[in-house]
């Protein structure tokens, strides 16, 4: 006779399989062969590729590989459907999104099983996480559709959007893409990943049933080339991509200068930071969710475990004990923790990286039990003795592999956490709220979870910093990715004058007399050697070249220095030195400095107006207006400095998600040619107000308002390095900024060629760009200032803080 306790000890798990019957009958209905869903109908199947269940290695269906002609047809269908869809009343679109949410819920079990069979992830996850979040996403965005006109007044749909998604959360990524696009009134062509096309096809049926008008949603399957055809299609207005940083970089380059709006959600190597006062048992469960959720194939997986030295040994022991109890097996078994890796090629990649970790000297540990040998399975894996610079500590493994490193002080933990080109997510574990909220803003990541991990919700934005991409998905911040300013830009009144003045580069010493305007007394003018403004000081340019600034009537107004690559590098260095403490200055403090600049500018208003008139020939009245608006604009951003609040998102947990607007960092700014003073202030002031340091390239034709401005800055308590000004050849200089890894964003206002070059060069470190050739009325308060500028100057960090016992 055994006791109950003994029985519990010896009990084994029996199989608890979820039935695949419904899925098999759905596949059977389609004879397991699929065309694309274009213009509200299924196309005839074309050239087919196999869809595999990675848990069994069996082919479960075949789908059509999209050709360029298929993409053309889908884009044409989306274009044709756009006017009507975009023109619907918000409430009508809200009803459609609501119907999609309902449709997903109605078919939730079918979708969960299908997802599990196609991807290999466990039914526990698809049933309890993926599919419920998909429905939640459509409900939430039905709300944004309803509120579009009031909450996004002055904005409208972008048009036809191309969306390319990965295989790790196939239907969830579809929802993250489709829901906001539809809510804002766009029409869509979406390409699922080649490993996991099936739930998107099932979704197409659900959308069809829900009565989504033909052409509003088009699903085209295929490989990378099909994706590339969407990216390169001339009639697509926006690309949204989730996937590898490598492909993200290709897409950034391919869309450069095309005018397509772009959002990228790329890879990560997210830190999971454990301080010594953390509750270690909670930490262990957190780690399970961070790195063994979805077999670690999660862009925001907590794949680097950073542990404070004093508790490292205890935590590793607890982790190994827990790993011993994890269960890997058939994804359809309801009692399984981990399913299969998506495809053999990914399995090989994981094996290769683990092998490399071992050969680079780290200690590898896996549980004693064995994985199923049929299908693509890989056991949970833990590395200790890892060097921060080693491959496994730097490269995204995208599998169930955790690397552990230790730190001593909180300061060290931040340095270690940020020692990555990525910046997607982070988890912070400590019982001290002080410590948690001190560390969260210091981590370069778009999402931070406090004593929790992998929390997602449609109301909270998700997205990265740096090589993890740009743009946010979810919440209000995600909606901005799918709208654009509604009113056609009025042509600025100064447009016809831009570029009239000739500019010749020559050696300064060769023409000393030309350095300033002729003196009325007939005496030789006092030579003013033009300089740059770097690190709070007027600095001589690296080379002695200057540019002669000539008025429209041919009078030499003055000279400006010709900055070069080295000057830009010095300016970026100065900006970096200033960025951290400027970001930490209070909004009130930054506002005070902007007011002070306005004050000092106003005392010299007449002088600036004269200078502007001399350079541009715009007339005294217009010149005065430009100075007046510049002063007002400084006031606008002084006002905003302590008012550009974040939000507390209403997420369905006991806790809050704090959406903080953080400065981007160091921003390179190439000013428009027109409005030499106002253009500069309109861009530099919002960047400063929100805590960024800038390197500004002023108007190329009329730079002297900027060089005169140095002394205004010098007398206004602007900390050294917060704003740096380098005059010269705009396109040459901005290219240096765009290629510079120390610059986090580049703004370019100018000609289309410059836009293209800027966007291309920005791919090096995937920096954010705001580059436009559209004309803008800088004098106008709608067009020339406001939230659009503040959004460009900030990025949203969502900090999740659960509370309660």
The Cα–Cα gap between 307 and 286 comes to: 13
The partner in contact with residue 675, picked from ligand NAI, Mg ion, none with C-beta cut-offs of 5 to 8 angstroms by kind, is none
Exactly one of 265, 396, 473, 739 is catalytic; name it: 265
Sign of dihedral through CA atoms 530, 492, 788, 592?
positive
Q: Which is nearer to Mg ion, 169 or 195 (CB)?
A: 195
- 537 near ligand NAI (CB under 6 A): no
Sign of dihedral through CA atoms 339, 341, 343, 347?
negative
Q: Which is nearer to ligand NAI, 242 or 700 (CB)?
A: 242
- 613 near ligand NAI (CB under 6 A): no
Per the CB < 8 A criterion, the answer to whether 49 and 343 are in contact is no
Least Å distance, CB 263 to ligand NAI, is 13
Least Å distance, CB 29 to Mg ion, is 19
CA separation, residue 649 to residues 99, 167, 313, 429, 460 (Å): 24, 28, 37, 21, 6
Q: Which residue is nearest to ligand NAI (CB)?
A: 227
C-alpha Rg value of the chain to the nearest Å: 29
Q: How many residues bind Mg ion (CB under 5 A)?
A: 4
Q: Residue 81: enclosing H or E segment and its boundaries? A: helix 68-87
The Cα–Cα gap between 159 and 236 comes to: 8
Whether residue 265 lies in the annotated active site: yes
Contacts of 16 (CB under 8 A, 6+ apart): 333, 334, 335
Helix (H, G, I), strand (E, B) or coil at 730: helix
**Hunting for tokens 């074309």 — which residue is that?**
46
* Residue range at the interface with ligand NAI (CB under 6 A); choices 164-172, 283-291, 526-534, 724-732: 164-172
Q: Which is nearer to ligand NAI, 166 or 400 (CB)?
A: 166
Helix axes 224-232, 68-87, angle to 10 degrees: 50
Exactly one of 115, 118, 337, 481 binds Mg ion (CB under 5 A); that residue is: 118
Per the CB < 8 A criterion, the answer to whether 502 and 619 are in contact is no
CA separation, residue 776 to residues 260, 415, 779 (Å): 18, 41, 9
The Cα–Cα gap between 713 and 136 comes to: 50
β pairing state of 483-485 and 155-157 = antiparallel
Phi then psi dihedrals of residue 169, to 5 deg: -135, 70
β pairing state of 238-242 and 160-164 = parallel
Exactly one of 101, 113, 164, 338 binds ligand NAI (CB under 6 A); that residue is: 164
- 171 near ligand NAI (CB under 6 A): no
Q: Which is nearer to ligand NAI, 168 or 258 (CB)?
A: 168
Q: Which is nearer to ligand NAI, 168 or 427 (CB)?
A: 168
Exactly one of 231, 392, 439, 670 binds ligand NAI (CB under 6 A); that residue is: 231
- 115 near Mg ion (CB under 5 A): no
* Residue range at the interface with ligand NAI (CB under 6 A); choices 225-233, 509-517, 521-529, 580-588: 225-233
- 166 near ligand NAI (CB under 6 A): yes
- 749 near Mg ion (CB under 5 A): no
Least Å distance, CB 75 to ligand NAI, is 14
Per the CB < 8 A criterion, the answer to whether 338 and 325 are in contact is no
Q: What secondary structure letter does DSSP report for 514?
A: G
Longest dimension (CA), the chain: 119
Per-residue x/- track, 355-394, ligand NAI (CB under 6 A): ----------------------------------------
- 224 near ligand NAI (CB under 6 A): yes
The partner in contact with residue 194, picked from Mg ion, ligand NAI, none with C-beta cut-offs of 5 to 8 angstroms by kind, is ligand NAI
Per-residue x/- track, 264-283, ligand NAI (CB under 6 A): --xx----------------
Per-residue x/- track, 3-42, Mg ion (CB under 5 A): ----------------------------------------
* Residue range at the interface with ligand NAI (CB under 6 A); choices 69-77, 141-149, 241-249, 627-635: 241-249
Beta strands in 626-686 (DSSP E): 647-649, 655-663, 666-670
- 56 near ligand NAI (CB under 6 A): no
Q: Which is nearer to ligand NAI, 242 or 795 (CB)?
A: 242
Least Å distance, CB 186 to ligand NAI, is 19
**Hunting for tokens 């107006």 — which residue is that?**
609
Exactly one of 58, 91, 106, 223 binds ligand NAI (CB under 6 A); that residue is: 223
What would the two tokens of residue 33 be?
């062969």
Beta strands in 335-482 (DSSP E): 363-365, 381-384, 401-407, 425-429, 447-450, 469-470
**Hunting for tokens 């001399």 — which residue is that?**
614
* Residue range at the interface with Mg ion (CB under 5 A); choices 44-52, 227-235, 404-412, 433-441: 44-52
The partner in contact with residue 118, picked from Mg ion, ligand NAI, none with C-beta cut-offs of 5 to 8 angstroms by kind, is Mg ion
Exactly one of 18, 130, 396, 567 binds ligand NAI (CB under 6 A); that residue is: 396
The partner in contact with residue 266, picked from Mg ion, ligand NAI, none with C-beta cut-offs of 5 to 8 angstroms by kind, is ligand NAI
The partner in contact with residue 185, picked from ligand NAI, Mg ion, none with C-beta cut-offs of 5 to 8 angstroms by kind, is none
What are 351's strand-pairing partners? none
Q: Indicate the burial class of 69 (C-beta count within 10 angstroms; 0-12, 13-18, 19 or more).
A: exposed
Phi then psi dihedrals of residue 721, to 5 deg: 90, -15
* DSSP line for 313-366: HHHHHHHHHHHHH--B--TTBTT-SB---S-HHHHHHHHHHHHHHHHTTPEEE-
Per-residue x/- track, 61-100, Mg ion (CB under 5 A): ----------------------------------------
The Cα–Cα gap between 788 and 507 comes to: 41
**Strands across the sheet with 469-470, in order?**
41-42, 37-38, 217-219, 187-191, 160-164, 238-242, 261-265, 469-470
Per the CB < 8 A criterion, the answer to whether 111 and 123 are in contact is no
The partner in contact with residue 299, picked from Mg ion, ligand NAI, none with C-beta cut-offs of 5 to 8 angstroms by kind, is ligand NAI
- 608 near Mg ion (CB under 5 A): no
Exactly one of 115, 125, 194, 299 is catalytic; name it: 299
Residues 712-731, interacting with ligand NAI (CB under 6 A): none
Exactly one of 178, 299, 647, 706 binds ligand NAI (CB under 6 A); that residue is: 299
Per the CB < 8 A criterion, the answer to whether 74 and 189 are in contact is yes
Nearest residue to 278 via CA among 291, 289, 287, 290: 287
- 662 near Mg ion (CB under 5 A): no
The partner in contact with residue 164, picked from ligand NAI, Mg ion, none with C-beta cut-offs of 5 to 8 angstroms by kind, is ligand NAI
The partner in contact with residue 114, picked from Mg ion, ligand NAI, none with C-beta cut-offs of 5 to 8 angstroms by kind, is none
Whether residue 299 lies in the annotated active site: yes
Least Å distance, CB 97 to ligand NAI, is 24
Least Å distance, CB 224 to ligand NAI, is 3
What are 156's strand-pairing partners? 484
Exactly one of 144, 176, 195, 422 binds Mg ion (CB under 5 A); that residue is: 195
**Hunting for tokens 């900027």 — which residue is that?**
706
Q: How many residues bind ligand NAI (CB under 6 A)?
A: 26
Least Å distance, CB 289 to ligand NAI, is 17
Q: Which is nearer to ligand NAI, 132 or 224 (CB)?
A: 224
Contacts of 216 (CB under 8 A, 6+ apart): 78, 81, 85, 182, 187, 188
Least Å distance, CB 483 to Mg ion, is 34
Residues of this chain that bind ligand NAI (CB under 6 A): 164-168, 191, 193-194, 223-224, 227-228, 231, 242-244, 247, 250-251, 266-267, 299, 346, 349, 396, 398
Chain residues binding Mg ion by CB under 5 A are 52, 118, 195-196
Q: Which residues are catalytic?
A: 265, 299
């Amino acid at each position: 006779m055994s006791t109950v306790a003994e029985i519990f000890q010896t009990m084994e798990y029996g199989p608890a399989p979820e039935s695949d019957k419904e899925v098999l009958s759905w596949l059977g209905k389609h004879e397991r062969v699929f065309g694309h869903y274009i213009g509200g109908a299924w196309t005839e199947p074309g050239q087919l590729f196999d869809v595999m269940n990675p848990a069994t290695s069996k082919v479960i269906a075949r789908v059509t590989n999209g050709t360029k002609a298929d993409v053309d047809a889908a884009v044409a269908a989306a274009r044709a459907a756009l006017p009507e869809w975009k023109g619907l009343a918000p409430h009508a679109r809200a009803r459609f999104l609501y119907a999609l949410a309902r449709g997903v819920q109605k078919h939730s079990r079918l979708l969960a099983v299908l997802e599990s069979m196609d991807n290999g992830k466990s039914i526990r996850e698809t049933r309890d996480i993926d599919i419920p979040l998909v429905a939640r996403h459509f409900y939430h965005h039905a709300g944004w559709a309803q509120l579009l006109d009031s909450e996004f007044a002055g904005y409208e749909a972008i048009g036809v959007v191309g969306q390319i998604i990965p295989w790790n959360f196939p239907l969830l990524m579809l929802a993250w893409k489709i829901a906001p696009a539809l809510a804002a009134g766009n029409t869509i062509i979406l390409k699922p990943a080649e490993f996991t096309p099936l739930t998107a096809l099932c979704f197409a049926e659900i959308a069809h049933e829900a009565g989504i008008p033909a052409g509003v949603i088009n699903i085209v399957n295929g490989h990378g080339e099909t994706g590339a055809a969407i990216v390169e299609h001339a009639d697509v207005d926006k690309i949204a991509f989730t996937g590898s940083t490598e492909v993200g970089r290709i897409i950034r380059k391919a869309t450069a200068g095309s005018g397509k709006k772009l959002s990228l959600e790329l890879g990560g190597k997210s830190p999971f930071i454990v301080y010594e006062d953390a509750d270690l048992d909670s930490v262990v469960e957190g780690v399970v969710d961070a790195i063994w959720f979805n077999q670690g194939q999660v862009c925001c997986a907590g794949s680097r475990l950073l542990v404070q030295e004093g508790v490292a040994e205890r935590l590793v022991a607890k982790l190994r004990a827990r790993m011993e109890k994890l269960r890997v097996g058939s994804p359809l078994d309801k009692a399984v923790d981990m399913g299969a890796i998506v495809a053999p090629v990914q399995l090989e990649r994981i094996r290769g990286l683990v092998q490399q970790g071992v050969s680079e000297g780290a200690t590898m540990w896996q549980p004693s039990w064995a994985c199923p040998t049929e299908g693509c399975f890989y056991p949970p894996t833990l590395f200790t003795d890892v060097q921060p610079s080693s491959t496994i500590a730097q490269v995204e493994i995208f599998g169930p592999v955790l690397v552990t490193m230790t730190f001593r002080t909180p300061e060290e933990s931040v340095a270690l956490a940020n020692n990555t080109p990525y910046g997607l997510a982070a988890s912070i574990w400590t019982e001290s709220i002080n410590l948690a909220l001190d560390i969260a803003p210091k981590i370069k990541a778009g999402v931070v979870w406090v004593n929790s991990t992998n929390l997602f919700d449609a109301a909270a934005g998700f997205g990265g910093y740096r090589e993890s991409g740009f743009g946010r998905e979810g919440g209000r911040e995600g909606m901005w990715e799918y709208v654009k300013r509604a009113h056609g830009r009025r042509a600025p009144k100064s447009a016809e004058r831009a570029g009239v003045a000739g500019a010749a580069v020559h050696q300064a010493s060769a023409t000393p007399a030309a350095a300033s305007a002729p003196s009325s007394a007939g005496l030789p003018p006092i030579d003013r050697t033009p300089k740059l403004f770097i690190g709070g000081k007027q600095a001589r340019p690296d080379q002695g070249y200057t540019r002669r600034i000539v008025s429209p009537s041919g009078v030499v107004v003055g000279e400006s220095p010709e900055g070069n690559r080295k000057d830009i590098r010095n300016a970026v260095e100065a900006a970096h030195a200033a960025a951290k403490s400027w970001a930490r200055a209070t909004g009130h403090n930054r506002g005070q400095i902007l007011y002070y600049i306005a004050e000092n500018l106003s005392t010299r208003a007449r002088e600036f107006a004269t200078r502007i008139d001399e350079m541009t020939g715009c007339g005294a009245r217009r010149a005065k207006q430009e100075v007046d608006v510049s002063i007002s604009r400084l006031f606008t951003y002084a006002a905003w400095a302590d008012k550009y609040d974040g939000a507390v998102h209403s997420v369905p947990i006991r806790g809050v998600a704090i959406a903080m607007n953080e400065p981007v960092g160091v921003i390179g700014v190439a000013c428009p040619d027109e409005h030499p003073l106002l253009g500069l202030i309109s861009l530099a002031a919002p960047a400063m107000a929100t805590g960024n340091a800038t390197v500004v390239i002023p108007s190329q034709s009329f730079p002297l308002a900027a060089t005169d401005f140095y002394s205004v800055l010098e007398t206004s308590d602007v900390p050294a390095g917060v704003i740096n000004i380098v005059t010269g050849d705009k396109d040459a200089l901005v290219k240096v900024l765009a290629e510079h890894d120390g610059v986090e964003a580049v703004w370019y206002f100018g000609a289309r060629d410059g836009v293209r070059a800027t966007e291309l060069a920005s791919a090096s470190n995937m920096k954010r760009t705001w580059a436009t050739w559209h004309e803008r009325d800088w004098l106008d308060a709608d067009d020339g200032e406001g939230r659009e500028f503040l959004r460009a100057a900030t990025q949203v960090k969502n900090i999740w803080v659960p509370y309660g016992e």
